[in-house]
A and B are shown apart, each in its own frame.
Chain A
Amino acid sequence: MKHTISELEDIASQVRRDCLRMVHAVQSGHPGASLGCADFFTALYFEVLNHNPKFSMAGVGEDLFFLSNGHISPVWYSVLARSGYFKVSELATFRKLDSRLQGHPTTHEGLPGIRIASGSLGQGLSVAIGAALGKKLDGDKGLVYTLMGDGELQEGQNWEALMFAPFHKVDNLIASVDYNGQQIDGPTEKVLSLENLQAKFEAFGWHVITSDGNDMDGIVKSLHYAKSLTGKGKPILNLMSTQMGYGVDFMVGTHKWHGSAPSDAQLEVALGQLKETAGDY
C-alpha cells in the first residue's frame, strides 16, 4: 500500500470539497456522480494506477485511464490536480473562458492526464479497447482502465464494445461501471431499466466482479483483485455500486444533484460535512 485507507479517505474528502466548490463557483456542472465516484478515483490514482503525472499521451509502460461519462469531470480534474498533473489552483478555472478544464474533458486544450474527449456518452469503452489493443501490439504490459456510468449503458455503442472485447480476448482491460441507479430524468429502473447487468455482462463473456464504490478499503481491494485477473483471456468488468451524492447527507441517493449546483447556503452545509484535509484550492 502506498497510502493507508485512512489517508485515502482523507484525500477523497478533499476531492469532494473540490468538486462542490468547482461546481458552486460557476453554478453549473455535475456534482452527484462526482461525489459518488470520489472514492474510486482516489483509490485508482493514489493507490492502484501505475502512472506518471509527468504526462505523455502514449503513456508507454504506464496504465491508462479513460473516462467515458465525461460529465463527472470535476472529480477527475480534482484527482489529477491532487496527484500532480497540474496545479491545484487551476481547478478555479473550471468551465470558465479559456480554461483547460472544459465542462467535459478534452485533449483539445492540452490538459495533462486527458487522452480523449468525452461527454457525448457511450464512446469511452471503445476507445479504451483500442488503447488496450495498441498496448498488446507493442508488448506493453501496462493496463487500461475505464469508467462508464450505468445510465450511459443505454447507448448502443457500449454493447458493440462489450461484444468485441471478450471475443478478441482484450484481457488487459478493466472496465468499471458506476452503478448508482440514477440518471438525469430519474432512477434508471424508471427511465429505462438496465435489468440484470451482471448477467448481461457475463453472457457477453466478461469476468465480472462486484464492489462497493463508497467503501475505500473495499474499492482498493476490488481494484487490486481486478488487476490480478488480467492476462487470463477475459476483459474484467467491475460492477461498482455507488451512491450519487455520497458524502453529503442532503445530496445522497437522488438524481436531483446529477447536474445541479449547490447554493451558497447549501455549499456551506455540505462543506461542513467534508473535512478539509489537503487545503482547499
Chain B
Amino acid sequence: MKKYTYTEKKDTRSGFGAGLHEAGKRNENVVALCADLVGSLKMDAFIKDFPERFVQVGIAEANMMGIAAGLTINGKIPFTGTFANFSTGRVYDQIRQSIAYSGKNVKICASHAGLTLGEDGATHQILEDIGLMKMLPGMVVINPCDYNQTKAATLAIMDYEGPVYLRFGRPVIPVFTPEDQKFEIGKAWMVNEGKDVTIVATGHMVWRAIEAGEKLAELGIDAEIINIHTIKPLDDEAILKSVKKTGCIVTCEEHNKFGGLGESVARLLTTEYLAPQEFVAVNDSFGESATPDQLMTKYKLDPSDIVAAVQKVMKRKK
C-alpha cells in the first residue's frame, strides 16, 4: 500500500474559495453569485478583490439560478454558491430548464453536501444531489476529495464550457493530494495500485478508502484504490481496466446508495463486464443531527465498513 501522509487538515469548501479567488484573477468573465451564505462558501476573498463581479442574491436560490443562466448569455462564467441541498433539490426545475436544457455555462458550486454537515441535521444534509444532477443530460458532476483537489477542480471547470455541478463539504479532512495537481475532468485518479479488489471512492470517502486500504494490507489484501472525482462523465475505462484485473469492486460515497456513484458503476459493469460489487453508501435514509464522525459511523461510512465490504465482495469472486 502506497503511503499517504498529510501535514494539515482543511475543508474542501475552503479549497473552493481559494479556487474561485484564483479563477477571478485568471479570467475577468468569472462572476460569483451567492444566496446569503458567503462565509460558509468561503467567497470572501473573491468578493474583496472583485466586488463588481459578485452578486448577492439573498435567500432566493431559484432567482440565483435564473440570473446565472442569464449572465452566461454575453459570455460570463457564473459560479453559484450555496449549500448542496439548496443548489439542487430546491432549484431542480430552474437548473433543468434554464441551465441544462438551455445549455448554459453555469458552475453550480455546492457546499455542505452529505452527512458531514453534522449538527444541522437532515433538512440540510442532502444525500440525493449526485443522483439529481447526474440525471440531467449534459451535466458534469464532480466531487473532489480534499482541499487541493477542490481548488484544482474549481479552476478546471472555469475552462470547461458547459454546466457543471461541483460538490464539496464542510468538515476539515486531511490534505493529501498535490498542491500543483492538474485536474482532468472525467479522468480517474489512481490512489493505489493493487490486485485483489477495486475500491472506487468519491469526495470525503477517498481518505477513508486509503485508511481502509492500510487495514486491508495488514490483513494481506492488496486493494486497488481509485479516486472518482468526476461521477459524470464516469471514467469507464479506468474502472473496467481495474475490475478486469481484480475481479470485484466496492464503491464508496457519502450519498444515498440510490442514484449515486455506486449505481453508475453498476450500470457500467452490467453492460460491459460482470463482476460482484458492494456499496458503501447511505442505505436509503435521511440523516440526522450529530457530529460528522458520529454520523459517518452510524450510517456505516467508516473505513471499517469499507473493509467489511471488501471482505464480503471478495468472497463472491469467481
Contacts and interface: CB of A to CB of B under 8 A. Distances in A.
Given A130-B68, A137-B52, A123 B98 contact: yes
Interface in B48-105: 52-53, 55, 57-58, 60, 62-76, 78, 93-94, 96-98, 101-104
B66 A123 contact: yes
A131 B74 contact: yes
A116 B96 CA distance: 12
A139 to B, nearest CB: 11
Nearest to B96: A120
A160 B73 contact: no
B66 A135 contact: no
Contacts of B62: 122-123, 126, 156-157, 160
Contacts of A42: none
Contacts of A161: 60, 63, 66-67
A172 B62 CA distance: 22
A124 B98 CA distance: 9
Given A107-B102, A137-B76, A161-B63, A131 B97 contact: no
B31 interface: yes
Interface string A98-132: 00000000111000000111111011111111111
Contacts of B64: 126
B272 to A, nearest CB: 29
B74 A127 contact: no
B281 to A, nearest CB: 31
Q: Which of under 10, 10 to 19, 20 to 34, or 35 or more describes the interface residues of B?
A: 20 to 34
Interface stretch (A12-20, A55-63, A189-197): A55-63
A116 B104 CA distance: 9
A88 interface: no
Nearest to B60: A160
Which of A120, A129, A130, A156 is packed against the most chain B CB atoms within 10 Å? A130
Given A108-B102, A108-B103, A64 B67 contact: no
Nearest to A146: B70
B70 A116 contact: yes
Contact of B66 (A58, A125, A138): A125
Nearest to A127: B70
A126 B70 contact: yes
Contact of B102 (A106, A126, A156): A106
A262 to B, nearest CB: 29
Interface in A139-176: 140, 156-157, 160-161, 163-164, 168
B186 to A, nearest CB: 23
Contact of A116 (B53, B55, B63, B98): B98
Contact of A119 (B74, B76, B97): B97
A94 B138 CA distance: 25
Given A127-B98, A129-B66, A164-B67, A58 B74 contact: yes
B94 A64 contact: no
A72 interface: no
Contacts of B60: 157, 160-161, 163-164
B297 to A, nearest CB: 39
Nearest to A124: B66
Nearest to A64: B73
A272 interface: no
Contacts of B66: 123-127, 129-130, 157, 161
A134 interface: yes
Contact of B69 (A120, A130, A160): A130
B71 A133 contact: yes
Contacts of B65: 126
Contacts of B97: 117-120, 123
A57 B105 CA distance: 13
Given A108-B102, A116-B102, A117-B97, A134 B71 contact: yes
Contacts of B93: 120, 123
Nearest to B103: A107
Interface of A: 57-60, 64, 66, 106-108, 115-120, 122-135, 137-138, 140, 156-157, 160-161, 163-164, 168
15 contacts: A57-B73, A60-B74, A117-B98, A119-B97, A120-B93, A120-B97, A123-B66, A125-B66, A126-B98, A127-B69, A129-B63, A130-B68, A133-B70, A137-B31, A161-B60
Nearest first, the 7 A-B pairs at minimum CB distance are: A130-B70, A126-B66, A160-B60, A160-B63, A130-B67, A127-B70, A131-B70
Given A130-B78, A137-B76, 13 more contacts: A115-B73, A116-B98, A117-B98, A123-B98, A126-B64, A127-B98, A133-B67, A137-B31, A138-B74, A156-B62, A160-B63, A161-B60, A161-B66
